[in-house]
Amino acid sequence: MTKLLEINNLFVNYGGIQALKDVNLIVETGEVVTLIGANGAGKSTTLRAISRLINPRRGEIIYNGRNITRRPSHEVVQLGIAHSPEGRRVLARQTVLDNLELGAYIRSNSAEIKADINKQFQLFPRLAERRHQLAGTLSGGEQQMLAIARALMSRPKLLLLDEPSLGLAPAIVREIFSIIQNLRATGVTILLVEQNANLALQIADRGYVLEAGCITLTGKASDFLNDQRVKQAYLG
Ligand code: ATP
C-alpha cells in the first residue's frame, strides 16, 4: 500500500479556540479510514484543513507525495481531493443536474462530464428520477446523495465524507452506506467522519479517535469494535 494522505503535527485555531492540536494521521491508497469523536472534537476541522477551506497554524498535509498545506482549495480539487461537507450544502435553487455539473467545474470535456453524470445516476437512481427537481426540494437523504454525487463529479482519488448519516432515517442511512461501500470497490479512497461510529467502523479498514483536538487512539476498525474504551465512549 502507498500513502495517499499524510497529516503531520497539524494545529488549527479558530481565533482563541485550539480546534486541532498536533494531529497525525495517515490514509493509504484504497482504504476507508474513519475519524470518530464527540461533538466539537475537531473532525470537520480536520476535513476542512485537508480540502483547504481553513488554514492550519502549524504542521503539514502531504497528499500523493505533494505538500498541499498552503495550496488553494481549487488546486487541491484538481489534484484529486473532493469534500462532501457536513450539512450537505447543495445549491437549493438549482436542479439536481445543475448541482452535478457544478461539481465538475474544474473539468472541461463535456462528453466526459455527461458520461460521469450518467455514472452518478447509476449509483444513485433516486437522483436520476429527480434530475430536473430543485435540490432544495429533495428529501434530506436525497440531498446527501446529491452532495456525494457532486463530490464524485471531480473524479476524486480521495473523498472526504462529513457525517453522511446525519439526521437521516435508518433505511436511508443503510442505502447511503451501501453506496459508500460500492464506491470503495471502484477504487476511491475514503476518509469518513461519522457520529455513528458503529456504522462507520463496520465499513472502515482503520479508525482514529479524536478527542478535544487530539488523536487519542488509532487502530484497525475491527479492533475498535471490540475495544472497551471505544465501546464505552462511542458505541453506546
Ligand atoms: P461536530 O460533530 O459537532 O460537527 P466536530 O468534531 O466536527 O464536531 P469541529 O466542527 O471540527 O468539530 O469543531 C472543533 C472545534 O472548533 C469546536 O470547539 C468548534 O466550536 C470550533 N469551531 C469550528 N468551526 C469554528 C468557527 N468557524 N469559528 C470558531 N470556532 C469554530
Instruction: Note the pLDDT of residue 87.
Output: 78
Cell of 47: 476535513
From 25, 45, 215, mutation site for ligand 1 pocket: most ligand atoms within 8 A of C-beta: 45
Mean pLDDT, the chain, whole residue set = 94
Q: Quick check: CB of 37 below 6 Å from ligand 1?
A: yes
* pLDDT confidence band for 40 (50 / 70 / 90): very high
Going by CA atoms, what residue is nearest to atom 1 of ligand 1?
39
User: Domain of 164?
Assistant: 3-234
Nearest ligand 1 atom to the CA of 46 is 11
Instruction: Note the pLDDT of residue 167.
Output: 87
Residues contacting residue 59 through CB under 8 Å, at least 6 positions apart: 7, 8, 9, 10, 11, 22, 23, 69
Nearest ligand 1 atom to the CA of 163 is 2
Instruction: Note the pLDDT of residue 37.
Output: 94
Q: Quick check: CB of 40 below 6 Å from ligand 1?
A: yes
pLDDT tens for each residue of 62-92: 999 999 999 999 999 999 999 999 877 889 9
CATH code for position 110:
3.40.50.300
Q: Quick check: CB of 41 below 6 Å from ligand 1?
A: yes
How large is the average pLDDT for residues 14-38?
96
Q: Is the pLDDT of residue 108 over 90?
A: no
Q: Quick check: CB of 45 below 6 Å from ligand 1?
A: yes
pLDDT tens for each residue of 135-176: 999 999 999 999 999 999 999 999 999 999 998 999 999 999
Provide the phi-psi class of 164: left if phi over 0, else alpha when psi is between -120 and 50, else beta.
alpha
Distance 43 CA to ligand 1 centre (A): 8
Distance 39 CA to ligand 1 centre (A): 8
Distance 212 CA to ligand 1 centre (A): 10
Instruction: Note the pLDDT of residue 139.
Output: 92
AA identity, residue 20: L
Q: pTM for the complete prediction?
A: 0.94
Instruction: Note the pLDDT of residue 89.
Output: 84
Nearest ligand 1 atom to the CA of 213 is 14
Counted domains in the chain? 1
H or E element at residue 81: strand 81-84
DSSP 117-167: HHHHHHH-HHHHHTTTSBGGGS-HHHHHHHHHHHHHTT--SEEEEE-TTTT
- HSE (CB half, 13 Å, CA atoms) of 35? 29
Note the Cα 148 to chain centre separation in Å: 8
Instruction: Note the pLDDT of residue 6.
Output: 98
